[in-house]
Structure 1
Amino acid sequence: MVFAIQTGDTSEIVIHTLLAAGFAILAIMGARASAWILAAALLGHGIFDISVG
């Protein structure tokens, strides 16, 4: 999200904020319900970072 803020592109900031919120929700769900959700969210976050970065 830092890079989106640095570019100043509003649509990119909104997209990255929504994606971050989605990962945060999955992390909370995983912590409360199942470690498998948490593991899948961490894996998804890593894949996202590799594909975008």
Structure 2
Amino acid sequence: MRFRKAARTACRYRGSLLLDELEWYARALKAARARDQERERSNCSAQRLIAAQP
């Protein structure tokens, strides 16, 4: 029980830091996803161009 209370206090203390970390991670994830989509899009158009060639 004492441990749980200590953990909760530590969690509250680290809360803002953890939130910053999570926000950074979410931003990085979003950027990576956008990069992947862009790569997929350019890949797709390149494949279409190759397929269109006689």
TM-score of the two chains, using structure 1 as the length reference: 0.48
Higher helix share: 2
Structure with higher Rg: it is: 2
